[in-house]
């Protein structure tokens, strides 16, 4: 009740000429995980439809294929080694484990045939190659706390992943639907994709906890694959005999609020790190303001007045930030900080000193009161111009006698 491996030398000898019919795996594409064996009629270069293997039949197994003899849903014998095999129901199961070692024998003991010696079986093949290009995409944004931005952000990820079957007997028993002669990964992937996305969210959250910046997630496919292995592989290996082989992230996108916050934070970091960049951005904004002044709904003059006010505010702000007085030679005739005329000294009274204003005495002392704190001289009277045009220092006009307002 099993298979016997044919002698390698016999494949090209006269003994091989007696093999009129040989069974091989049906077409096995890159997404095929399971398929039946079909009859290859010798000398006709085509595959037949019969898939029941009787005693004495020959089965050809290629590299990266796992072959099983199955009767009534139970595995009779198997091989994980490439070559030619003859079905011999009088023999004990050969159990060619190949690279899988004793693991397959343990699985075989759980799902082996338990009845009488069968007279006919079906042959099935499991694809041992890496099954690539399984697409995934997050249905909802995944929360991601980024220490750099010090904010809870939300991202979406799209890409592909691949799996590899690590225990074909376990995979056959737990994953393959019964009465199916061919299974593509996409036809059975709905449940596993949901589990994959749950593990993906856990893995991305772990990357966040490890301090990875959100902008680096798309370039961390290898690390993400490791996170996925730690999160999912143990469960998938034990329950289904498969594991995550690799994860490829094609794109990472952010929700609108997260993108806006990232842009704002990046722009602030750029301006704060280089004062010249800040000045350049300000000049750019002023230039655009002058360009758009003509379209101002209140008229061009109102537009230019707004530009001038903005330039003065900008000069004062940037002077405070840099600790340096902003030059007053920019377009629009912006005044230096404080609105003082060029050449004027702070504390020097303009057109005379008002009591309480800063003024400089003849002795050189700078004062704010009515009398000099050094020599006691009174503050000079402030000049004023009457409506008649006369310049005065007293309380009444010396020309027309009108009182100072």
- CATH classification of the domain holding 138: 3.30.479.30
Give the Cα separation of 381 and 259 in Å (integer). Answer: 62
Query: Do 21 and 61 reside in the same domain of the chain?
Result: yes
Query: Do 244 and 313 reside in the same domain of the chain?
Result: no
Query: Do 195 and 113 reside in the same domain of the chain?
Result: no
Query: Do 357 and 333 reside in the same domain of the chain?
Result: no
Counting every residue written for the chain, the total comes to 405
Query: Do 68 and 172 reside in the same domain of the chain?
Result: no
| Least confident segment among 27-31, 209-213, 310-314 | 310-314
Query: Do 136 and 122 reside in the same domain of the chain?
Result: no
The residue from 127, 144, 172 where one domain ends is 127
**Does 299 score more than 60 pLDDT?**
no
Query: Do 313 and 228 reside in the same domain of the chain?
Result: no
Neighbours of 26 (CB within 10 A): 16
Residue 342 domain-assigned?
no
The pLDDT assigned to 297 comes to 58
**More confidently predicted of 215 and 196:** 196
Query: Do 80 and 34 reside in the same domain of the chain?
Result: yes
Residue 214 domain-assigned?
yes
Query: Do 300 and 282 reside in the same domain of the chain?
Result: yes
Ramachandran area for residue 22 (φ above 0: left; ψ -120 to 50: alpha; else beta): beta
Backbone angles phi, psi at 49, to 5 degrees: -100, -15
The pLDDT assigned to 132 comes to 92
Query: H or E segment at 156?
Result: strand 151-165
Is the pTM for the entire model greater than 0.75?
no
The pLDDT assigned to 273 comes to 52
Residues 63-78: what's their mean pLDDT? 88
Residue 366 domain-assigned?
yes
Residue 264 domain-assigned?
no
The residue from 209, 231, 258 where one domain ends is 258
Residue 298 domain-assigned?
yes
**Does 381 score more than 60 pLDDT?**
yes
Identify the three-state secondary structure at position 223.
Answer: helix
Question: In the chain, how many domains are there?
Answer: 4
Query: Do 284 and 381 reside in the same domain of the chain?
Result: no
Give the Cα separation of 320 and 47 in Å (integer). Answer: 86
Residue 269 domain-assigned?
no
Beta bridge partners of 347: none
The pLDDT assigned to 81 comes to 92
Residue 59 domain-assigned?
yes
Query: Do 156 and 100 reside in the same domain of the chain?
Result: no
Give the Cα separation of 192 and 67 in Å (integer). Answer: 24
Query: Do 136 and 253 reside in the same domain of the chain?
Result: yes
The pLDDT assigned to 296 comes to 56
Confidence of residue 64 (pLDDT cuts 50, 70, 90): very high
Give the CA angle between residues 167, 168, 169 to the nearest 5°: 95
Query: Whole domain around residue 94: which residue ranges?
Result: 2-127
Instruction: Calculate the CA 94 to chain-centre distance.
Output: 49
The residue from 127, 155, 186 where one domain ends is 127
Residue 268 domain-assigned?
no
């Amino acid at each position: 009740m099993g298979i016997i491996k044919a002698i390698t030398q016999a494949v090209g000898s006269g003994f091989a000429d007696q093999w009129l019919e040989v069974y091989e795996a049906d077409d096995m594409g890159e997404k095929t995980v399971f398929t039946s064996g079909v009859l290859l009629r010798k000398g006709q270069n085509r595959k037949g439809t019969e898939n029941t293997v009787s005693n004495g039949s020959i089965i050809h197994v290629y590299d990266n294929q796992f072959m099983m003899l199955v009767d009534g849903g139970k595995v009779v014998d198997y091989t994980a080694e490439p070559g030619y095999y003859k079905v011999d129901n009088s023999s004990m199961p050969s159990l060619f484990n190949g690279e899988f070692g004793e693991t397959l024998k343990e699985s075989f003991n759980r799902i082996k045939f338990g009845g009488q010696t069968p007279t006919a079986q079906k042959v099935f093949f499991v694809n041992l190659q890496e099954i690539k290009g399984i697409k995934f995409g997050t249905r909802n944004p995944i929360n991601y706390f980024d220490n750099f931005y010090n904010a809870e952000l939300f991202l979406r990820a799209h890409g592909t992943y691949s799996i590899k079957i690590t225990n074909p007997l376990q995979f056959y028993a737990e994953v393959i639907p019964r009465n199916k002669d061919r299974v593509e990964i996409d036809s059975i992937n709905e449940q596993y994709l949901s589990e994959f996305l749950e593990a993906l969210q856990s893995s991305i959250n772990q990357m966040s906890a490890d301090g990875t910046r959100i902008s680096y997630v798309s370039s961390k496919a290898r690390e993400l694959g490791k996170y996925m292995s730690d999160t999912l592989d143990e469960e998938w290996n034990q329950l289904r005999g498969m594991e995550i082989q690799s994860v490829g992230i094609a794109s990472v996108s952010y929700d609108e609020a997260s993108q806006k916050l990232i842009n704002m934070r990046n722009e602030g970091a750029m301006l704060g790190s280089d004062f010249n960049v800040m000045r350049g951005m300000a000049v750019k904004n002023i230039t655009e303001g002058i360009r758009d002044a003509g379209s101002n709904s209140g008229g061009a003059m109102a537009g230019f007045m707004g530009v001038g006010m903005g330039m003065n505010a900008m000069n004062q702000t940037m002077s405070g930030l840099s600790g340096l007085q902003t030059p007053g030679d920019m377009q629009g005739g912006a005044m230096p900080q404080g609105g003082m005329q060029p050449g004027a000294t702070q504390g020097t009274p303009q057109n005379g000193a008002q009591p309480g204003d800063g003024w400089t005495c003849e002795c050189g002392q700078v004062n704010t009161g009515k009398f000099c704190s050094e020599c006691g001289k009174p503050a000079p009277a402030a000049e004023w111009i009457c409506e008649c045009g006369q310049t005065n220092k007293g309380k009444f006009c010396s020309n027309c006698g009108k009182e100072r307002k």
